Amino acid sequence: MASQSGEHLLRAAQMAEADRITIASGVPGHELMARAGSGVAAAARRMAAPGARILVICGTGNNGGDGYVAARLLQAEGRDVAVMAPLGPATTADAGRAAADWAHGRGAAVAIDADVAGYDLVIDALFGAGLNRPLDGAALDLARRLNASGRPVLAVDVPSGLNADSGQAMAASVRAAATVTFAARKPGQLLLPGRLLCGDVTCVDIGIAPETIARVAGGIFRNSPDLWQASFPAPSLEAHKYRRGHVLCGSGGPLSTGAIRLAARSALRVGAGLATVAAGLDACRAHAAHLTAIMIREAEGAGDFARLLDDARFNAVILGPAGGVGPELAARVEAAARRGRALVMDADAISSFAGAPERLAAVIAAGEGAPVVMTPHDGEFARLFGDVAGVMDVGAKYERAVAAARMTGAIVVLKGADTVIAAPDGRAAINDNAPPWLGTAGSGDVLSGLVGGLLAQGMPGFEAAAAAVWIHGAAAQAFGPGLISEDLPEQVPAVLRRLLRQGAQAGAAR
């Protein structure tokens, strides 16, 4: 798993292990802390004009140590710096050394009840990765006063109170305008509400080798092209349309046809060679009034649909967008999985297995190993898994998604502003490029089409799902506010142009 390329996200325990390995290899801890503190000071310089009053709040551990280093560096260049140590003196050797170096300067120490609103910038170095229980007492009170003050906060590693693994606040958390983290980003900086509490995150190299990061990493990635570009389908002169795959899209009834058209159009836009919508006769008439490049086939029930799959050229299937919840749709899912087609299950296809994830797991297991990607939002996810132990009750969002993937054998795309893509082998990617205006009716249908279009071109399931989620976010960004779901497929060509250019450059550099 460590051999997978991409930007690793490290949990607090993995980060501590990377520190330990680096220190054991001969880099002293205080040197790592010096680089970390220097990165914090650089960010503070960008945030505070000369003459600004800066308050550094230092905890007792190494996070506080980073704060003392930053305070010393800023003060040495003539900045107006004060330090508050609300929980008492440093308790680790490296932090103690940093605190002593600071105290040799001429900086002021301020009392815990000082008015934090009197400062232009507050550096929050109270707790970092060592946070091991919810804030309470003086720390909780200080975090609340800081948030109420409205002053810009620069957080060291993570805002104090934020769980770096899960992205959840432990009782309460400081809300930062910016965060400087070290060596690698942490999952809690991408997951909500953590992403909002961190503000802009900068990752500073403190001298921990990339090999060390890869060695301790646990298969959680930031979703970016690095993760999947190597398997992204590049157009080739030799490829005719059938080589680029044929997506079969199962329609809902005559009054619910728009969703699957959005999916089919998106599948074509992302590069599938052909897309066909399969529908009952009345729905076919509705589709015929709209479709040009996308083909239409009549299929009245699940039996008709299964017979269409006798044509081996339909190599990917999309089921679910406005498909109608019930046994009929479940039977189509079963037919597609049994016939070994790469399958996207969205919306109603997921809900057709409500409370019966074991049944879905059996359907997928009976397939021929072709990828099945399901794309639930939180509501559909909860409907599918009900109160299944070990899925709904596990901590972080990526842990829920991985548990669901392991249980069902599907790639799980758990949607939201912080969409997580998870594979049965334990890999997970957290997406952070989706703008808020992507949450618009029908945008999930577009996503299912993008996944199906990439699967049809032979991309592996996890990579296809991650790439589709990223392209979806990039297309929404490219359009901007005012987006409706019909706009998304039309933005895909520009996103692909950029991706293919970058891919060619990366290939040339290798």
Ligand X SMILES: NC(=O)C1=CN([C@@H]2O[C@H](COP(=O)(O)OP(=O)(O)OC[C@H]3O[C@@H](n4cnc5c(N)ncnc54)[C@H](OP(=O)(O)O)[C@@H]3O)[C@@H](O)[C@H]2O)[C@@H](O)CC1
For ligand ADP, the binding residues (CB under 6 A) are 347, 377, 415-417, 419, 434, 436, 438-439, 441-445, 447, 472
Tokens at 252, concatenated: 């809902």
Minimal distance, residue 110 CB to ligand X, in Å: 19
- According to the annotation, is 106 in a ligand binding site? no
419 is in an annotated binding site: yes
Kind plus residue range of the DSSP H or E element containing 400:
helix 397-408
Q: Is position 282 annotated in a ligand binding site?
A: no
Tokens coding 97:
């050394």
247, 264 Cβ separation under 8 angstroms: yes
- Would you say 134 is a known binding-site residue? yes
DSSP letter assigned to residue 169: B
Beta bridge partners of 110: 84
415 in a labelled binding site: yes
d(CA 276, CA 288) in angstroms, rounded, equals: 12
User: From K ion, ligand ADP, ligand X, none, which one binds at residue 409 (CB under 5 to 8 Å depending on kind)?
Assistant: none
At which residue do the structure tokens 């979703």 appear?
223
CA pair distance 39, 89, nearest whole angstrom: 23
Burial 18-51 (b: 16+ CB within 10 A, else e): bbebbbeeebebbebbbbbbebbbebbeebbeee
- Compute the CA torsion angle 267, 352, 309, 249 (nearest 10 deg): -20
* 124 contact choice in K ion, ligand ADP, ligand X, none (CB below 5 to 8 Å, kind-dependent): K ion
Judge whether 235 is annotated as a binding position. no
**Smallest distance, ligand X to C-beta of residue 157, A:** 4
128 annotated to a ligand binding site: yes
Q: Which residue's CB is nearer to ligand X, number 169 or number 302?
A: 169
Residues binding K ion: number (CB under 5 A)? 5
Q: Does 176 bind K ion (CB under 5 A)?
A: no
Looking at the Cβ atoms of 155 and 277, the one nearer to K ion is: 155
Gap between the Cα atoms of 427 and 288, Å rounded: 41
- Spell out the residues 6+ positions from residue 309 whose beta carbon is closer than 8 angstroms to its own: 248, 317, 335, 336, 339, 341
Whether 416 has a binding-site annotation, put simply, is yes
Pairing of strands 342-346, 7-8: unpaired
Interface segment toward K ion; rule CB under 5 A; list 48-56, 152-160, 218-226, 460-468? 152-160
- Please give the Cα distance from 244 to 202 (Å, whole number): 39
Closest approach of ligand X to the CB of residue 144, in Å: 14
Residue 66 binding K ion, by CB under 5 A: no
> Quick one: 36 or 451, whose CB is closer to ligand ADP?
451
Question: Is 310 annotated as belonging to a binding site?
Answer: no
> Helix or strand or coil: residue 313?
coil
Task: Please report how close the Cβ of residue 347 comes to ligand ADP at its closest, in angstroms.
Answer: 6
Residue 91 binds which entry of ligand X, K ion, ligand ADP, none, with Cβ cut-offs from 5 to 8 Å by kind? ligand X
Which of residues 92 and 257 has its CB atom nearest to ligand ADP in the complex? 257
Q: How far is CA 115 from the centre of its chain?
A: 37
Chain contacts with ligand X (rule: CB under 6 A): 19, 29, 32-33, 36, 59-66, 91-92, 127-135, 139, 156-157, 182, 206
State how far the Cα of 387 lies from the Cα of 409, in Å rounded to an integer: 19
Cα 338 from Cα 302, distance rounded (Å):
13
66 interacts with, out of ligand ADP, ligand X, K ion, none, CB within 5 to 8 A per kind: ligand X
Tell me whether residue 175 or residue 406 sits nearer to ligand X (CB atom): 175
State the nearest-atom distance from the C-beta of 65 to ligand X, in Å: 6
Binding residue (CB under 5 A) for K ion from 124, 165, 348, 380: 124
Backbone angles phi, psi at 501, to 5 degrees: -65, -45
Q: Which does 441 bind (CB under 5 to 8 A by kind): ligand X, ligand ADP, K ion, none?
A: ligand ADP
Nearer to ligand ADP, 62 or 443 (CB): 443
Stretch that binds K ion, among 42-50, 157-165, 237-245, 360-368 (CB under 5 A): 157-165
- Nearest approach, Cβ of 97 to ligand X (angstroms)? 11
131 marked ligand binding residue: yes
Look at residue 64 and give the partner it binds from K ion, ligand ADP, ligand X, none, a contact being a CB closer than 5 to 8 Å depending on partner kind.
ligand X
Least distance to ligand X, CB of residue 152, Å: 19
First to last CA, the chain: 21
CB-count burial class (<10 Å; 0-12, 13-18, 19+) for 301: exposed
Residue 27 token pair: 């880099």
Residue 186 is assigned to a ligand binding site: no
Distance in Å, CB of 184 to ligand X, minimum? 12
Total count of residues recorded for the chain: 510
* The entry of ligand X, K ion, ligand ADP, none that residue 218 binds, CB within 5 to 8 Å by partner kind: none
Give the three-class secondary structure for 348.
helix
Q: Is 62 in the site for K ion (CB under 5 A)?
A: no
190: amino acid identity, one letter:
L
Quote the CA–CA distance of 372 and 278 in Å, as a whole number: 19
Q: Is 114 buried (19+), middle (13-18) or exposed (0-12) by CB count in 10 A?
A: middle
The amino acid that residue 91 corresponds to is T
Which among ligand ADP, ligand X, K ion, none contacts residue 160 (Cβ within 5 to 8 A by kind)?
Answer: K ion
The angle subtended at Cα 272 by Cα 416 and Cα 310, nearest 5°, is 105
Query: Which amino acids are annotated as binding site for (6S)-NADPHX, given as ranges?
Result: 62-66, 128-134, 157, 259, 377, 445
Query: Which amino acids are annotated as binding site for K(+), given as ranges?
Result: 63, 124, 160
Query: Which amino acids are annotated as binding site for AMP, given as ranges?
Result: 415-419, 444
Query: Which amino acids are annotated as binding site, given as ranges?
Result: 62-66, 124, 128-134, 157, 160, 259, 377, 415-419, 444-445
